[in-house]
Structure 1
Amino acid sequence: MSNPHPAGTLDEIRALIRELPGPDLEAGSAAAERQRQLTKPRGALGRLEDVAEWMATWQGRHPPALRRPRVSVFAANHGVAARGVSAYPQSVTAQMVQNFIAGGAAVNQLCELADADLRVYEMDLETPTGDFTAGPAMTGDDCAKAMAYGMMAVEPGLDLLCLGEMGIANTTSAAALCLALYGGEPADWVGPGTGVDAEGIARKAAAVGEGLAANPSARTDPLEALRCLGGFELAAIAGAVLAARMARTPVLLDGYACTAAAAVLHRLDRRALDHCLVAHRSAEPAHRRLLETIGKEPLLDLGMRLGEASGAALAINLVKAAVACHGGMATFDEAGVSGPSDR
């Protein structure tokens, strides 16, 4: 089953987080041992070696495989968009979903390049979340349902799950989430997003501050922060990350909003994102701060800030390279090459 532990309430989500499976140390050790035997100096492939070992550890098998990557993009709308926090109108969310379906977005091209399956999940775009500057963005039931929806996106047989989002105003929601989870000031977590100017950034910071003032319980518990300040697509991403852990499916996270959604789980359990890598460091300034806070070093840093899982889709080929080198290179013995003297 894709969702062996269906979650209907936030309390059930909490119970699942207490059941997180750990790494498969036997598979990880087998990968590390093979790395030592391959025809290269130790560590010569740098992070590609780490990625191959990570894939084996969290797939629970050696050698790791990457024949079936999935890119999942969750799309939803945010009530806080009415506060003028984005450079684009809310109607763009639905328009971009149609662009994904028609194959015209950047993520479509990157998925084709990586031979990855793209799925777009449209989450009731006609019904935005509540404006969190006036109260909670979601009810507890709505937040739990959105997380469960994301969990159902994790199907059997996936070798790698790449997560991303589309939702006008979701960097404002991400900033509010990060402020509730990790503290600081609103200005620490806001940035230009889709390209707002200095006045737009000031409006975002004001909205984030008002959101925390209107939802004081958001500071008391990570899932409460998600309920009060998040969005349907951010809750779905958190659910997908959780279900992927239960299914032993490694995850690539995209940019700032996606990482903020996953950070809810990290705040509940520091081990909750061990099966995740962050694909790239977004140009959104607060993404660097967030990655440092949760202890994640991104695979790429290309100045991207598009969202829609574009960075995660781009990184699939990097993971493929890691898996291909790990499984396809000859060992010293197989190639008749003298290994290091201490081998």
Structure 2
Amino acid sequence: MCAKSSSISGSSLFVIATAVKWQADESGIIASADNSRSSRCLCFTPNWPRPLRRTHNPPDKAKTVPRFRRLCPAVAAMGIALSAHAAAIDCSSANTRTDRLICGNDALVSADSSLAAAYDHAVDMAEDQDAVIRSQHAWLRQRNACSDVACIASAYRERIDALKRVKHASWTTYSNPALGISFEYLANRKVKTPCPVLGGDHCVAIVGRNMWNSDYFIAFEIFDGTLEATAEDQAVFDRDEDGKWITNAGPGPNVKAESFSGPGWKGLRATIVCGINDPATGFHAVAGNCYWAVLSNGKRSAVADTQGIVGTDDATLHSVATFRFNR
């Protein structure tokens, strides 16, 4: 089963359900392990002639796999994920009195869009995410009881103001002595190892709510080697004819890589267009924005990546900025 969504009038509550195990066949189509296929669950990975990356298997058993395999995420196989994204109202299916009042007023349509963004941000950052979700349901009942535009407009103003005052989760530090790394992350999220989908003993991922059908917000894979070698062998970077770093993956044009630095390391980063799979609308070849970065202290390196839907928010990028090599 891919996913189910239930409309909550003007905002939608998406619940990601248990997914089957996925694997890529020779055509590049992601299919379930029992070879069953569904038009709502398939993810197409074009067979671009891209370089290969190594897995974490021992050298004598190592296999080469397309390093762009992560540009097209499968449906999140996380059991029942309590995700609570709010989608702005769909006026093409405005069936209730409240929906019709909103869709007949441009200011209310704009307010609904602003509230959806404010709600997503509040849930992402909240110390008590359950409380925010419960209060949203209570607010929707209050809004839907309105009988005129003025009442609805007031409800939106009050709710957006309340969402801005939601108490944020604190920062906590993850430390992995075996890998010799540490970084800060929001306390309402979790660090998972091995990484979902990617696997391996040298990979950690940040997971949590509001990931849509992504497997993680961001993943860090740790390798021995310099920045340059890791960028070329394990990530999506190459040098152009002028010796400048660019990306070499994704359906869009190559992107110039940006140099940046953090505590004790230097790095490269870029955000590239990538394919994403939406349970409701299918695969979209250029709808995602995948963040890639390589961080290195000169001897050891970390490859960070997202799956195109989430992971470019300030909280996730804070985890990148605070990343440390402890040996």
TM-score (normalizing by structure 2): 0.30
Between the two structures, name the one with larger relative contact order (CA 8 Å, sep ≥ 6): 1
Considering fraction of residues, name the structure with more helix.
1
Considering fraction of residues, name the structure with more strand.
2
TM-score (normalizing by structure 1): 0.29
